[in-house]
Amino acid sequence: MSELVQRASQQLTELVRGEMRLAQAEMKEKGKRYGKGGGLFGGAGVVGFLMLQALVATAIAVLAVPLPVWAAALIVTALLGVITAVMALSGKKQIKEGAPPTPERTVESVKADVSEIKGSAQR
């Protein structure tokens, strides 16, 4: 009987170790895939940025047909400046609305709970 228990224990240990090796191999494979995916996303970001630069150059070229090149570049630059300012002001407003970075409702709720517990303890 003790030999059966010992053998079952040994088999269970081997089974757990085998499962751990399998899990380790699986996670290693998934890690490689995540790394490749992250690299591809990064590359897509760089190419997308280059595409936007080409789009800006195209806009300048289109405007340069009826206008001098310097005027076309100035118009596109001003437009990009306005977009930048609007985005910056909007971002500043969002950050201001998020300040202070404390969970105010939760703090008030905890204070109310503590007050309730103190009140109950005094009775």
Q: Average pLDDT of the chain? A: 88
Tally of CB atoms within 10 A around 33: 9
Dump pLDDT digits (tens) for 42-63. 999 999 999 999 999 999 999 9
For the chain, the straight-line distance linking the first and the last C-alpha, in angstroms and rounded, comes to 62
Residue 103 CB contacts under 8 Å (≥ 6 apart), including other chains? none
pTM of the model: 0.57
Q: Is the dihedral of CA 26, 30, 32, 33 positive or negative?
A: positive
